[in-house]
Structure 1
Amino acid sequence: MATSKHLIGFLNFLSFLLSIPILGGGIWLSSRANTTDCLQFLQWPLIIIGVSIMVVSLAGLAGACYRNIFLMYVYLWSMFVIIAALVGFVVFAYSVTERGSGRPVMNRVYLDYSLQDYSGWLADRVADQRYWAKISSCIRDSHVCRKMARSAGGAPESADLFYLRKLTPVQSGCCKPPTSCGYTYMNETYWAPGEGLTGIDTDCLRWSNDQLQLCYGCGSCKAGVLASLKTSWRKVSVINIVILIILVLLYVVAWAAFRHIKSIDNEEAHGETRMEKARPTYLI
């Protein structure tokens, strides 16, 4: 029985350690929400799950150390709910980022992004003007476009060098017009109309050389945010899947150890009852 309780305590300690990368993933998403992805609510479910695993693991560890059956029950049932929530989060993250990707452009290293390539709940939320006003303001305040500037000998880099750059989705979608529009490169965020706009994309008319406007109102900018979110979520989800598999294995072992403890307790209780019944009584 002591061995089983020590095992449960050790498993609780391991689950506590596993909560750290989950919480770290949520904090990383939070940092990106403030600087790059600019969508504020997505990181909170992961942070809540990570903190919950920490608290429940500590409760289970205390139950194992002090032989408190109630705390062990709390640990097992709470961890079951948390694992189910983590499964739901991983499935949700993959389902809402399933569709959409960048479009290759001839003679360019970077990709172009179009909102038409994205659909579903997340795309609708990003495209909603109420949310987009906050997201675009966040992108503008992060100065992501200003940070693109490079120079060679005091002059902006040439168009040929710019075309060889691997831009982030937000840089490509928000800081320059779509390639199909036919604008002529002057510098990273200043593009002159060509001999005639060849693109039929409405983003061609939304582009502005005003450094406060650029393509922040373009569908390509929204698509760039969605592509950036997809990359961020997929990275975190891979880690979460690995942790989830380990958590399930630890939970199965902990449940088996707890049932062993309960069976021993029941046997001891039945043994004491039989001894009470078998004890001789003396008439006085």
Structure 2
Amino acid sequence: MGVGNNMSAVLNFIALLASIPIISAGVWLASKPDNECIHNFRWHVLVLGLLVLLISLAGFVGAYWNKQGLLAFYLCCMAILISLLLFLLVFSFVVTRPDGTYHVPGRGFKESMLVGFSPWLRNHVFTASSTTSWNKITTCLAHSYVCIKLTQDYASADHFFNSSNISPLQSGCCKPPTSCGYNYVNPILWINPVNPMVDPDCYLWSNDQSQLCYNCNACKAGLLGNLREEWRKANIILTVAVVVLIWVYLIACSAFKNAQTEDLFRRYKRGWV
């Protein structure tokens, strides 16, 4: 195995390692309750990570056993995968840039406004035929541990109100909006206030554990807030992985060219012997 192929094998092994954080980010995103209930966003990163792993493995085999055709296949496919990852990164950065969450006075957690998120994100999750889609999402959320977990984590009102660990999804779906003035009993049980309520979400709140605020706009906003937070975190990992893959790819192209030159030179020498 020539120097060029040695270099290619090492680089492909690095690319193979770079696929691990991509796969991990994909698994992490897919395991989140909101992504479990919205299948549109669930598997993209994981599938791309697995493809990077398989193509890197093919490139490693091609370099180690000097299979130039397999190396050329690796370079072609990796260029496509890097382009897809770059597109996904740029697109997700753009659509998750608007932040509809806001601080509530006297509360450690944030609440969310639906209009504060990007139009694409709102339209893609809540389509024109969103009644059926949202019903499926709320059913999925009601069967998850999202709200039940609050009763396990917060035993007192002070602990609950001062917590900064409550997710936008929990804040929007598991309790009534703070502006409604409901009285706290526990994180998912609240008493109607005496004062008149302005926000329509206030009238949609129910102490029925299968309903809570799942039909509120605040819940939809909380869902988008969760998606935004998770994708922004995943993008940090993906950015590092893509930078490594681009660096590896550029050097691999040079190593492949050098290997081709070495092979041509050896053939040329044999022709003179």
- What TM-score does the superposition give when structure 1 sets the normalisation length? 0.87
1:49 shift after superposition: 1.1
Counterparts in 2 of 1:213 and 1:63: CA distance versus 1, 3 Å = same
**2:239 corresponding residue in structure 1:** 241
Q: Distance in 1 between matches of 2:153 and 2:75?
A: 59
Q: Distance in 2 between matches of 1:36 and 1:109?
A: 25
Q: Distance in 2 between matches of 1:148 and 1:197?
A: 27
Q: 1:6-57: per-residue Cα shift (whole Å, max 9, x none)?
A: 1101111111111111111111111114x77632232312111111111111
Counterparts in 2 of 1:47 and 1:219: CA distance versus 1, 3 Å = same
Equivalence map 1:156-175=2 (5 Å): 157=156, 159-166=157-164, 167-175=166-174
Q: SS state of the match for residue 213, structure 1? A: coil
Count of matched residue positions in the alignment of Structure 1 and Structure 2: 269
**1:64 corresponding residue in structure 2:** 63
**1:102 corresponding residue in structure 2:** 101
Q: Letter of the 1:230 partner, please give it.
A: R
Equivalence map 1:83-122=2 (5 Å): 83-122=82-121
**1:149 corresponding residue in structure 2:** 151
Q: Letter of the 1:43 partner, please give it.
A: R
Counterparts in 2 of 1:94 and 1:270: CA distance versus 1, 3 Å = same
Q: Distance in 2 between matches of 1:73 and 1:36?
A: 36
**2:124 corresponding residue in structure 1:** 125
- What TM-score does the superposition give when structure 2 sets the normalisation length? 0.90
After the TM superposition, which of the residue ranges 123-132 and 245-254 deviates more from structure 2?
123-132
Q: Letter of the 1:172 partner, please give it.
A: S
1:151 shift after superposition: 9.4
1:270 shift after superposition: 4.2
Q: Which runs of 5+ in 1 are unaligned?
A: 277-284
Q: SS state of the match for residue 149, structure 1? A: helix
Cα pair 2:111 2:172 within 8 Å, conserved = yes
Q: Distance in 2 between matches of 1:110 and 1:197?
A: 24
Q: Letter of the 1:7 partner, please give it.
A: M
Q: SS state of the match for residue 184, structure 2? A: strand
CA radius of gyration, larger in: 1
Q: SS state of the match for residue 211, structure 1? A: coil
Cα pair 2:173 2:213 within 8 Å, conserved = yes
**Aligned sequence identity (%):** 36
Q: Distance in 2 between matches of 1:150 and 1:25?
A: 27
Q: Distance in 1 between matches of 2:143 and 2:72?
A: 49
Q: Distance in 2 between matches of 1:229 and 1:97?
A: 8
1:105 shift after superposition: 1.3
Q: Distance in 2 between matches of 1:85 and 1:11?
A: 20
After the TM superposition, which of the residue ranges 42-51 and 262-271 deviates more from structure 2?
262-271
Q: SS state of the match for residue 78, structure 1? A: helix
Give the CA RMSD over aligned residues. 2.1
Q: Letter of the 2:230 partner, please give it.
A: S
Instruction: Select the structure with the greater relative contact order (CA < 8 A; seq sep ≥ 6).
Output: 2
1:192 shift after superposition: 2.0
Q: Distance in 1 between matches of 2:35 and 2:57?
A: 34
Q: Which of residues 220, 223, 235 in structure 1 aligns to 2:221?
A: 223
